[in-house]
A and B are shown apart, each in its own frame.
Chain A
């Protein structure tokens, strides 16, 4: 499978070119156009590896309950994938390794990659960000999206990232949730709240914008809920 991302970073979309018999699993609703002879099936799980619990977990992660499987019947057929919000896309290749992806940032993966959901504990709940993370595991290409532009942050030792700016990270990294400032009061007043402290060697993919910050900035201009 060949992945080409166009119109980066603001209006990105990805063109996947498939060989005959190749298949790709994508987040429901991501397809914007495709060759007419590409087959599509919809399941609640990655084919051949699913269970209902996984599905429910994915739903909690802010992902759709459903995944679409696109299957090519000839070499060179195309599938175009887009993102719901303005932002960037990036692809990478996994080699028998795991990638932890923020709920909502998963777009697609090749058939050699399994889509699972990792429980990150109750502490994540406090951060106000996604409770679950999607775990991509195996060998093959994966495609992620972000709100705003994506940039890589190599970690060798320790690095602190605001929870709202994490797109994905290597599973080789350990992380703990902690306060940003010296005291809890300063952390909360400073608007940083909880941050992730990564430890080890690996890469964190970050997004330039924070969905919650933009959303709350819009709040005063929106019409109030009726009840």
Chain B
């Protein structure tokens, strides 16, 4: 397994630009970065693209959609859709526009027999050579992370796109790095992690940070600048009162 990941850098050119960062991968473009990233992928004739359920926004009429179960029974417990849609270009190439669920940024990696772990709602799309599975984090890690008990494991060969809520910050870890559990988007397989408390016991309860992920090893972590939770708690007081 190669240690070097083929991570596509973000184009400083905000205008739509078609990329094919790896000659083995598909052509695609990303617009609206970093606040409202939107992905367009060109699917060659008779090839198939896996896309997160309900993320398709536009598509050519020669694309045929098929819905499949994703990753088995574990899916039921993640709170995410257990379905994944497969779009196949019939009789010629076709283009599909994909809108991630949350306003935020998007990244592309070409996996070359490599593995990347995604936070549960970060998956956007991948080509057929990439296996997408739920990975049980273990009760302790999953429970204390305050997030999901599952991660999504993407491995194999092909294109992978994932998205965030908020902006994305890339951190190359060499040694150790601490990330708030709610801010993790994705990380490469060379890293291992522990869910630990930050600081002492007083910090555990009162710092507002609670449990954090302590990554160690060599690899990259993608983190998001926002969390959905604080937005939801802020909206809460604005609910109307029942008559």
Of the candidate stretches A111-119, A121-129, A182-190, A214-222, the one touching chain B is A214-222
Query: What is the number of residues of chain B that contact chain A, defined by CB distance less than 8 Å?
Result: 43
Chain A residue with Cβ nearest B223 = A33
A225-B176 Cα distance, complex, nearest whole Å = 44
The answer to whether A36 and B167 touch across the interface, beta carbons within 8 angstroms, is no
The 4 closest A-B pairs by CB, nearest first: A29-B208, A36-B176, A11-B167, A7-B167
A65 at the interface (CB under 8 A from B): yes
Question: What sequence of 0s and 1s flags, for each residue 147-191 of chain B, a beta carbon within 8 Å of any chain A beta carbon?
Answer: 000000000000000000011010100011111100100000000
Interface residues of B in 192-212 (CB under 8 A from A): 198-200, 202-203, 206-209
Q: Is the CB of A224 within 8 A of B207?
A: no
B138 at the interface (CB under 8 A from A): no
- CB of A56 to closest CB in B, whole Å: 15
Interface 0/1 of B223-242, CB less than 8 Å to A: 10111001101110111111
Q: Which residue of A lies closest to B237 (CB)?
A: A215
- Residues in A neighbouring B208, C-beta threshold 8 A: 27-30, 64, 66, 68
| Whole-angstrom CA separation of A149 from B203 in the bound complex | 31
| B104 located at the interface, meaning its Cβ lies under 8 Å from any Cβ of chain A in the complex | yes
Instruction: Check if B169 sits within 8 Å of A13, measured CB to CB.
Output: yes
Task: Kindly provide the distance from the CB of B232 to the nearest chain A CB, expressed in whole angstroms.
Answer: 10
B169, B223, B227 — most chain A CB neighbours (10 Å):
B169
Point out the residue from B183, B199, B214 that lies within 8 Å of A36, measured CB to CB: B214
Chain A to chain B contacts (Cβ below 8 Å), 21 pairs: A6-B225, A12-B225, A13-B169, A13-B225, A27-B208, A32-B180, A33-B178, A33-B221, A35-B177, A36-B176, A37-B176, A42-B202, A82-B166, A82-B225, A82-B226, A211-B234, A215-B234, A215-B235, A222-B235, A222-B238, A222-B240
Question: Is A84 an interface residue when CB atoms closer than 8 A count as contact?
Answer: yes
- On whether the beta carbons of A226 and B242 are closer than 8 Å, the reply is yes
Residues in A196-227 with C-beta less than 8 Å from chain B = 211, 215-216, 218-220, 222-227
Would you give the 0/1 interface string for A30-60, flagging 1 where the beta carbon is closer than 8 Å to chain B?
A: 1111111111111100000000000000000
A-B contacts at CB below 8 angstroms, number: 141
Q: A13-B225, A32-B183 are in contact. Are A220 and B235 (CB under 8 A)?
A: no
Q: Which residues of B contact A175 (CB under 8 A)?
A: none
Beta-carbon contact of B34 and A41 below 8 Å: no
Contact B225–A7 (Cβ < 8 Å) = yes
Q: Does the CB pair A39–B223 fall under 8 Å?
A: no
Determine the distance from Cα of A82 to Cα of B240 in the docked complex, in whole angstroms: 29
> In this assembly, does B52 line the interface, its C-beta being within 8 Å of a C-beta of chain A?
no
In the complex, which residue of chain B has the Cβ closest to the Cβ of A8?
B167
Q: How many angstroms between the C-alpha atoms of A216 and B235 in the bound complex? A: 9
Q: What 1/0 flags go to A1-30 for Cβ under 8 Å of B?
A: 000001100111101000000000001111
Whether A84 and B234, one on each chain, are in contact in the complex, defined by CB atoms closer than 8 angstroms, is yes
Q: For the complex, give the distance between the alpha carbons of A227 and B176 in Å.
A: 48
Known: A13-B167, A39-B199, A66-B206. A84 touches B231 (CB 8 A): yes
| A212 and B233 alpha carbons, distance in the complex (Å) | 14
- Give the Cβ gap from A148 to chain B, nearest Cβ, in Å: 12
Cβ B105 vs Cβ A11 within 8 A: yes
Say whether A86 faces chain B, with CB atoms less than 8 Å apart: yes
